[in-house]
A = this chain, B = another copy of it.
Amino acid sequence: MKIALAQQNYIVGDFEHNVGKIISAISTAKTKGACLVVFSELSVCGYPPYDLLCRTDFIQKCLTAVEQVAKHCIGISAIVGAPSPNPELLGKPLLNSAYLLSEGKIQSTHHKALLPSYDIFEEARYFEPNHNFTIANLNGKRIAITISEDLCDDQPMRRNKISPMAELKKLNPDLVINIAASPFSFDNYSQRIAVFADNAKRYGLPIISVNQVGANTDLIFHGGSVVYNANGFLSKSLNLFVEDIQVVDTESRGVIDSKIQFEPNDYIAQIHDALVLGIRDYFQKSGFTKATLGLSGGLDSAVTLALAQKALGSQNLRVLLLPSQFSSQHSIDDAVALADNLKVKYDVVNIKDSFDTINQGLEPVFDDLPNDLTEENIQARIRGLMLMALSNKLGYLLLNTSNKSEAAVGYGTLYGDMCGALAVLGDVYKTDVFKLAHYINREVEVIPINTIVKPPSAELRPDQKDSDSLPDYAILDAILREYIENQRSVNEIIALGFDAEVVAKAIRLVNANGHKRFQSAPILRVSSKAFGLGRKMPLVARF
Residues of B within 8 Å of A373, CB to CB, are 392
The reply to whether A537 and B52 contact each other, CB–CB distance below 8 Å, is: yes
Q: Is the CB of A392 within 8 A of B377?
A: yes
- A 191-229 binary contact with B (CB < 8 Å = 1; else 0): 000000000000000000000000011100000000000
Q: Are the C-beta atoms of A542 and B12 separated by less than 8 Å? A: yes
Q: From A252-260, A295-303, A380-388, A447-455, give the one contacting chain B.
A: A380-388
A-B contact pairs, 18 of them (CB 8 A): A11-B540, A49-B538, A51-B535, A52-B538, A55-B489, A58-B543, A91-B161, A124-B124, A124-B125, A125-B536, A286-B540, A349-B364, A353-B357, A356-B357, A362-B390, A385-B415, A388-B415, A518-B522
List 20 additional contacts besides A11-B541, A14-B541, A362-B386; criterion CB under 8 Å.
A49-B538, A50-B537, A54-B487, A55-B487, A90-B161, A117-B117, A122-B536, A216-B538, A216-B540, A217-B540, A281-B540, A282-B540, A285-B542, A354-B354, A357-B358, A369-B393, A377-B388, A378-B385, A415-B415, A519-B519
Let me know if A32 is at the binding interface, CB within 8 A. no
The reply to whether the CB of A160 lies closer than 8 angstroms to some CB of chain B is: yes
Taking CB atoms and an 8 Å cut-off, the chain A residues in 35-94 that contact chain B are 46, 48-52, 54-58, 61, 89-93
Contact of A381 among B281, B385, B538 (CB under 8 A): B385
- The answer to whether B349 touches A365 (Cβ under 8 A) is yes
For chain A, give the interface size range. 35 or more
CB <8 Å contact, A216 and B521: no
- With A361-B386, A388-B377 already in contact, the answer to whether A543 and B216 are too (CB < 8 A) is no
Bound Cα distance from A415 to B419, whole angstroms = 8
**What 1/0 flags go to A475-505 for Cβ under 8 Å of B?**
0000000000001011110000000000000
CB < 8 Å: which of B11, B51, B57, B160 contacts A90?
Answer: B160
Chain B residues, CB < 8 A from A17? 542
Assess whether A366 is interfacial by the CB under 8 Å rule.
yes
